[in-house]
Amino acid sequence: MKSLSPYESARRELVMTILYMAVITFQAIYVASKSLSAAIVIFIIFQSIGVLMLRHYIKKLKKLKDDQST
């Protein structure tokens, strides 16, 4: 199996985080038909985690991109 560079690995993790956030959004929409309050809680908690992960990977990508360009 081919080893990915740190930059490519961070890009892959960023894409997976975006997919994770999309899945959580659809799950919250599905739960909303049964319990609106549960859907709101799921959406807020899991999307907050997703935003923190996105911030981390974006910072990591910027750092790795700067390291590659120098």
Domain enclosing residue 49, as ranges: 6-11+20-65
Phi, then psi, of 55 in degrees rounded to 5: -60, -45
- What is the predicted pLDDT for the residue at 20? 93
What gap in Å lies between CA 31 and CA 37, rounded to an integer?
9
Give domain status of residue 47, yes or no: yes
Phi, then psi, of 3 in degrees rounded to 5: -85, 135
List, for residues 21-34, the tens digit of each pLDDT value.
999 999 888 888 88
What gap in Å lies between CA 29 and CA 20, rounded to an integer?
14
Q: What percent of the chain has pLDDT over 90?
A: 49
Question: How does the average pLDDT of the chain come out, rounded?
Answer: 89
Instruction: Decide if pLDDT at 52 tops 70.
Output: yes
Give domain status of residue 50, yes or no: yes
- What is the predicted pLDDT for the residue at 23? 93
Q: Which of 13, 7, 17, 1 is nearest to 66 (CA)?
A: 7
- What is the predicted pLDDT for the residue at 1? 61
Give domain status of residue 70, yes or no: no
